[in-house]
Amino acid sequence: MRIESGVSLKPYNTFGLPAVAQTLVRIAGDADVRQVVDHPQLGRAPKFVLGGGSNIVLTRDMPQVVLKVEVMGRRLVEERADAWIVEAGAGENWHDFVMWTLAQGLPGLENLALIPGTVGAAPVQNIGAYGVELQDRFESLDVVDLVTGRSVSLQAHICAFGYRDSAFKHSLAGRSVITRVRFRLPRPWQPVLGYLELERKVAETGIAQPSAQRVADWIIGIRRAKLPDPALIGNAGSFFKNPVVTPEQCRDIIGRDPEIVHYPMPDGSVKLAAGWMIDACGWKGKTVGKAGVYERQALVLVNRGGAIGSEVMTLARAIQESVYGRFGIRLEPEPVVV
C-alpha cells in the first residue's frame, strides 16, 4: 500500500481540473484495501474512490482519503457453450481491455470501444454506446467492503443497473471498492448494428455482417469524428444524460419542435437527444469563463485551458436553465460532481 500526501489530481481527471488530494492511497489489490480499513487513521476517515477520472468534475480540493484504484490483469476465466467469461482488474484502461478481448478472438464489447475510463468505473456508470450497455455483457464483480475489509462477489441484481446508473451511485456509494469485473460475452456472436450511424456504415460499405473488429473500427472512427480527445482538450465525454420521457410528453414536445431527435425505447418510453436540445438552444461553441461547449458535439463540455470546476458547473447550470425554459425538460449531469 502506497500512501502519498498533497497530490495534484489534475493529471488524474480527464477534464484537467485543478484539485489536490490531502491523502492518496494507491490500491493494487484487495489486500491494500484491507490495510486501509485496518489503518488507525485512514480506516475511520471518509473515502473517495478514483478510477480513470473520466467521469468526475472536481470543484474543490479533496479532504477525503482518495483511493486510486490500480488493480491490473486480464484473463479468460471460462469458455462455456453459450458464452466466454472474461475478467479484468478494475485499474485496467477500458478501451485497451476491449481491444485485448478482440485480439484474443473474444467479441462482444466492440460497441463500447473508445469509451474513456477504467474497467472498475464501467459498472458504476453502466456505460453504454451504440446499442449496447455494460449490463448486457455483465457477469459479476468483486468488491472489498470499506467497513469490514471483506471481499465479496456481486451479481447483476445487487448492482441494480439502470440508464447510466447503478447501486454504486446510491446504496453502495462510498461503501466498497470494485477490484475486478467479469463479463459474459455471448456465443454465437452477432453484431449489434441497430444504431443509425452503424446502419449508415453498413449501407456505405455494403458489409451486412461485419466482423467484431470492423464494428470496433467503425465506432472508433465515429467517436473520434465527434468527440474530443481528453489528452488534447479536457472533457468528461457526454456531460448530460439523454432524458427519457413518456410518449405523451414526447408528442407535446414534437408539437412545438417537430425536428427533435428521439428514440422509442422497448418499454414504451421515449429517449430524447440532449445534444440536439442543447444545440437548439444555441449553446454549441459557446464559452463561460474557460469552460465551453464543444463545437462538434453540444453534449460535450470542454476545458478551453485553465478552467476550474466552478466554471464548468456555472456553464452546466446555464445550459440546464435554457433547455428547461424551452422544452420543460431538466437535464441531469452524467459525471459525478465533487
Catalytic residue list: 164, 238, 334
Residue 276's H or E segment, with its range, is: helix 274-280
Question: Quick one: which of 118, 57, 132 has its CA closest to 88?
Answer: 118
Question: Quick one: which of 97, 44, 46 has its CA closest to 75?
Answer: 97
Work out the burial of residue 225: count CB atoms within 10 Å of its CB; fewer than 13 is exposed, 13-18 middle, 19 or more buried. Answer: exposed
- DSSP tag of 91: T
Rounded Cα–Cα distance for residues 204 and 320 (Å): 37
Rounded Cα–Cα distance for residues 247 and 264 (Å): 9
Q: Tell me the helix, strand and coil percentages in the chain, rounded to 5.
A: 30, 30, 40
Cα 304 to chain centroid, rounded: 22
Rounded Cα–Cα distance for residues 208 and 206 (Å): 6
Rounded Cα–Cα distance for residues 320 and 326 (Å): 10
